[in-house]
Structure 1
């Protein structure tokens, strides 16, 4: 009883494979699982000639109901996520405030900031505890 899934790349836990006596045939991209007097074959070799099987998504509640009824359940949802390069979309030069103050946002940060005319510091009195006020 072949089950065609298009292509897949997945990791199935060793405990699950042992429990169901599954056999992975890497060269053929299939998984064989004994099921009663038949063998369930999950294919990932593209032998469906481009007619990919579409898996319907069901809710967790519905899945739990099937499991409580004693149904044998095999559930897999394998997706790919495309990573997009956000560095091309957002650039520092596109921010208005950055363009207004080029000396504050230099392109090259090869050294420490230049010495300023006024050095800012807060002089603390030794032994004085900080003020414990709520910020609101």
Structure 2
């Protein structure tokens, strides 16, 4: 094709390259039964592959923004939707603390509730003052609504507080009661002895594996 163009126009072959390219791209391809330019560009025009990538990225960004908006709206509205009346009974949310080494460790601080306690007074729109027993006199007696849980049981069925140590920051101190089982875990350099410990105020099913040296 390039030789035919050079002979037809009577010039050098390098100047005939644009003609040969145009003829090849727009000529009918017998094997493909269509023009090469249309097969490569879908409509005979130049189109970048970045258009589809950009559209897909924008669609994903819209989905992420919508999910964030829904999550933020739910987080802001949820505490305001929860409310209690005077003389209602609620549970107080506390966090268990298993020794000083586990202070502020999320893996060992599962939320728990104590009570129920009667609400004789409401402070503002989202704060309440429940009746706390003398054993919790060290705890500030005004709580946000997010720290309370509505009691659906009979108020007389109050959980005993004997042996439950509650600090000023509403952390309950827990102690190991019994070692249920032992095992060894092999690492690359040494062996670690593990103990399955049952903690105070927990059942046997809630026992956790702890290192013996801790």
TM-score after normalising by structure 1: 0.22
Q: Rg: which structure is higher?
A: 2
Q: TM-score, normalised by structure 2?
A: 0.16
Higher relative contact order (CA 8 A, sep 6+): 1
Which structure has greater helix proportion? 2
Higher strand share: 2
